[in-house]
Structure 1
Amino acid sequence: MNRSPPLQGPLFEAVQRSDIFEDSKTFVDCVPRLDPKTIRNRFETRRQDPEFDLQDFVYEHFEVPDAAAREATEDEDTRTDDSMGEHIRTLWPQLVDHPSDERAVEYGSLIGTPKPYVTPGGRFRELYYWDTYFTAEGLAASGHIEDVENIVENFAWAVDEFGYVPNANREYQTSRTQPPLFAETVGILERERGIDAVAPYLDALDAEYEFWMSGQEDLDGEGTAARRVVDPGDAVLNRYWDETTGPRLEAFDEDVELAESVPERDREKLYRDVRAACESGWDFSSRWCRDDSLETIRTTELVPVDLNALLYGVESDLARWHAAVGDDAASDEYAAAAARRAEALDRYCWDEQAGFYFDYSFVDDERTDKWSLAAAVPLYVGLASDEQAAAIADHLRTKFLEKGGW
Structure 2
Amino acid sequence: MLYDDPTAQLDDDITYNNETRRQQAFDEGRNWLYKNPHFSLIHVEKHNNDTVTMTMMDVTKADTTCRQQLQEQGYYCLSHLWGRDAKNYMWDDSGILAEKGNAVSVSAVPMRIEKRATLLALLKQNPGFWWIDVFCARVDTPLGIMGSIYKYCTACFAMMDRSSQTLRQLDQGLPLLIEEVSTHFPEKKRPSHRLPILIGYEDKEEDMDEDKALLFKTTLDKYPIEVQALLDLTHSAWFTRVWTLQEAVLPRQLFMVPETQSSSQLDTLEFSLVQKASERLTTVANAIKKLESSNQIHATMQEEESKSILDDQYTRLVQQLETHVQEITVAQETYKQADALDEHDRLPCLQSTLHKFAESTRTCTDPVDFVYGVIGLLDIGLPRMNNANEVWRAFQRKFRDMRVQQLDLHFYAICKSAAPFDLSQADSMKTVYSSFIREMNL
Give the TM-score range, shorter chain: under 0.3
Structure with greater strand percent = 2
Higher relative contact order (CA 8 A, sep 6+): 2
TM-score for the superposition, normalised by structure 2: 0.22
TM-score for the superposition, normalised by structure 1: 0.23
